[in-house]
Amino acid sequence: MEINQIKELLPHRYPFLLVDRVIEMEPRKRITALKNVTNNEEYFLGHFPERPVMPGVLIIESMAQAAGLTLLVEKEHRGKIPFFTGIDKARFRRPVVPGDQLYLDVELLRVKGNVCYAQGKATVDNEIAAEAQLMFVLGSAKKTQGEAE
């Protein structure tokens, strides 16, 4: 799956779309995706100007976006938004820097209704950069009555 197909499913857009390609996927089961990390990423302006490092929270977010794709590819979930609701056991093992290719391997552990639990791992050159357990809920893309702006 290439970027235009990803954009048809994920609601995220630049500068927050953090999945560039899907290498392989089994819907509702697992995904391997890719994020090309370039020096042009806006966050490198301040994190850190003399030694650019991809923020750990964005590595986790990229895993969550990949996990969301495994459900959004199904017709019943099209047009929904994956809302991140939890992170457990997050660990960061090596820095991710411009020029790296960040491979995102995510396995869905359990899907119950619109709630999903997943285990994610991000690697660079076959070294673990980060890993975490993720939880998200698929919600409506439309704001519901009573929700804050």
Supply the pTM of this predicted model: 0.93
Of the residues 12, 30, 47, 94, only one is catalytic, namely: 47
One digit per residue, the tens of pLDDT, for the chain of length 149 reads 999 999 999 999 999 999 999 999 999 999 999 999 999 999 999 999 999 999 999 999 999 999 999 999 999 998 899 999 999 999 999 999 999 999 999 999 999 989 999 999 999 999 999 999 999 999 988 776 655 55
CATH fold of 3-139:
Thiol Ester Dehydrase; Chain A (3.10.129)
CA distance 95 to 116: 28
Q: Where are the domains of the chain?
A: 3-139
Annotated active-site residue 47? The verdict is yes
Torsions phi, psi for 6 (to 5 deg): -60, -45
